[in-house]
Chains A and B, each alone.
Chain A
Amino acid sequence: MSATDGMSLRCEGLGFSYEEAGVPIPALRDVGVELPAGRSLALLGASGSGKSTLLQLIKGLDAPETGRVVLDGCAPDSPGYAGLQREVGIVFQAPELQLFATSAWEDVAFGPRRLGREEAGVRRAVDEAMALVGLPPEEFAARHPYALSGGEQRRLALAGVLAMQPRLLLLDEPFVSLDPATRRQLTAVCSRLRASGVTLVLATHDVDIAWTLCDDLLVLEEGRVLASGVWDAEGSGRALRSTPRLREPFLVALWRRLGRDPARAPRTHAEAAEALR
């Protein structure tokens, strides 16, 4: 993947509520996010804590009731904002639902074509995105999306968003109901994206994968920010330990058990093995 200059993200005082039978149910209350370009943020919280809502507000699919989303330093009322919004990619929970074309290649090409790219650019972006997610076009381009396995479908849907070459990528529970091998492949894709410079927001229940992938942390509970900032094992780890439905990453807990300094807990199994050898 070619290097991308990531987009910075700042959310200020975001509030949003859903309406059920005429009664507003608050989903987010005064949520602030500060994410410099090229960094990756883990969005953690129990089900219903507002993670998906936050991602959809960032992408602009819903308008916040209070507060605003600032992209690359541009406020929503500035002229280039719509263009910046188009450079935000979002991958929904179970994105395989969005597949509709008659070939894998055509499905991935839908997004970049809608952006009005010229055909050569589309071809390059699609081939690159398919290769990145481990579905090499020479093998998969002509396959029917619904003939692929569940894990392949999910990676194809991810490629469909990557082909639009987002500078800020929002991933909503990308690892749910995947087998371990597919999970590993998808984690590898994420870390490649991260290395390429894309700004990443990862909403997930899988605190261990988030720990290997993310620099920063935002913990939501019932729509409020419980902890945020750089994800070091000590400071923000306390929020994870004190929230009943969350837990610390395995490697941090292991370091604590071993009587070692949890602040220096390794990020990956390889680092852990190295340190313990």
Chain B
Amino acid sequence: MRPAIAQYYPGDSVIHRLDARAKFVSVTAVAVALFLRDSFAGLAVFAVAAAVAYMLSGVPAVWFWRGFRPLLWLIALTFLTQLLFAPGEPFFSWWVFDFSWQGLRFASFLSLRLLVLVLAGSVLTLTTAPLALTDGLAWLGRPLRRLRVPTDELALMVTIALRFIPTLLVELEQIMRAQRARGADFSHGGPIRRGKALLPVLIPLFVLSFRRADELALAMEARCYRPGVVRSRLHPLHVDAADAVLLALTAAVIAVGLIV
């Protein structure tokens, strides 16, 4: 299957073995620091740190590229708007647009900042199994339970949703084949016609999903799932020395990045 944004790349690297919570905190802290700092030097520090983490993870660079490619448009758009509309001394004018060195500098800076942000985020999602990530988020969200936010239940919902994406893709493929065999055509015509052509696929897929949700709810109740009860875990999260090192390194990187 084609790697997409936020897809997990199974592995056993140093980065893979780190605790999901530590990685999440580290990446979030770097992301916040990225936006606190507006010098190229600071950006370079964070970029090097993220790149080193990515290399340590052993994930092929092409995986980052595939996840990054869909975002290129967003970055190109950011670059263009900043270049055209940022104030500064113009060195070149065309029609209503003024191009300035300040604008060019600012546009490059914002684009690079987005690139580093996506790189840091990729290290987290590519090296952390979705289950571990949701468990970690549920743990980090625990204080919210005092505000009656059902964090564990939300985490379970996310987990179930992730679990069923491949299943639904397989079923989608089967339904599309069956309808294609009945003469359905998904690849011709304008957007409206194509949208209508998808109805014979989407309706069965929805019906199936609702039926499956009903069955899953029954099966979970039959196996004594009760919302609001603390559950035990097959793979408990645990923090060790490596995670402490990660957090210390993160703090150091952020400090250097904010000072230089």
Q: Is the CB of B183 within 8 A of A61?
A: no
A164 proximity list for chain B (CB < 8 A): 182-183
The residue in chain B whose Cβ has the minimal distance to the Cβ of A56 is B177
Indicate which residue in B175, B180, B181, B185 contacts A97 across the interface (CB closer than 8 Å).
B175
Q: Is the CB of A59 within 8 A of B203?
A: no
* Whole-angstrom CA separation of A95 from B204 in the bound complex: 11
B55 proximity list for chain A (CB < 8 A): none
* Whole-angstrom CA separation of A110 from B183 in the bound complex: 8
Chain B proximity mask over A56-67: 1 for CB below 8 Å, otherwise 0: 100101000000
Q: Is the CB of B183 within 8 A of A97?
A: no
Q: Is the CB of B204 within 8 A of A114?
A: no
Taking the closest CB of chain B, its distance from the CB of A32, in whole angstroms, is 23
Q: Is the CB of B180 within 8 A of A110?
A: no
Name A84-122 residues within 8 Å CB distance of B: 86, 89-90, 92, 95, 97-100, 110-111, 114-115
Q: Is the CB of B183 within 8 A of A90?
A: no
A255 within 8 A of B: no
B143 proximity list for chain A (CB < 8 A): none
With contacts defined as CB atoms under 8 Å apart, how many contacts are there between chain A and chain B in the complex? 49
Q: Which of B200, B201, B208 has the most CB of A within 10 A?
A: B200
* Whole-angstrom CA separation of A146 from B180 in the bound complex: 21
Indicate which residue in A61, A95, A99 contacts B180 across the interface (CB closer than 8 Å).
A61
A160 within 8 A of B: yes
Q: Is the CB of A114 within 8 A of B182?
A: yes
Q: Which of B201, B207, B208 has the most CB of A within 10 A?
A: B207
* Whole-angstrom CA separation of A163 from B179 in the bound complex: 14
* Whole-angstrom CA separation of A95 from B96 in the bound complex: 61
Q: Is the CB of B200 within 8 A of A146?
A: no
Q: Is the CB of B182 within 8 A of A100?
A: no
A56 proximity list for chain B (CB < 8 A): 177
The residue in chain B whose Cβ has the minimal distance to the Cβ of A116 is B183
* Whole-angstrom CA separation of A100 from B204 in the bound complex: 6
Supposing A110-B200, A146-B207 touch, asked if A97 and B174 sit within 8 A by C-beta, the answer is yes
A97 proximity list for chain B (CB < 8 A): 171, 174-175, 178, 204, 208
B61 within 8 A of A: no
Q: Is the CB of A98 within 8 A of B175?
A: yes
B199 within 8 A of A: yes
A114 proximity list for chain B (CB < 8 A): 182-185
Q: Is the CB of A95 within 8 A of B178?
A: yes
* Whole-angstrom CA separation of A100 from B180 in the bound complex: 14
Chain A proximity mask over B186-223: 1 for CB below 8 Å, otherwise 0: 00000000000001110110011000000000000000
B200 proximity list for chain A (CB < 8 A): 98, 100, 110
A35 within 8 A of B: no
Q: Is the CB of A61 within 8 A of B174?
A: no
Q: Is the CB of B179 within 8 A of A98?
A: yes
Q: Is the CB of B207 within 8 A of A98?
A: no
Supposing A97-B175, A98-B175, A100-B199 touch, asked if A61 and B204 sit within 8 A by C-beta, the answer is no
B179 proximity list for chain A (CB < 8 A): 98, 100
Supposing A97-B204, A99-B204, A100-B204 touch, asked if A110 and B182 sit within 8 A by C-beta, the answer is yes
Residues on B lying within 8 angstroms of A by beta carbon are 171, 174-175, 177-185, 199-201, 203-204, 207-208
Residues on A lying within 8 angstroms of B by beta carbon are 56, 59, 61, 86, 89-90, 92, 95, 97-100, 110-111, 114-115, 146, 160-161, 164
Q: Can you give 19 contacting A-B residue pairs, CB < 8 Å?
A: A56-B177, A59-B181, A61-B180, A86-B183, A92-B178, A97-B171, A97-B175, A97-B204, A98-B178, A98-B200, A98-B204, A100-B179, A100-B200, A110-B182, A110-B183, A114-B185, A146-B207, A161-B181, A164-B182
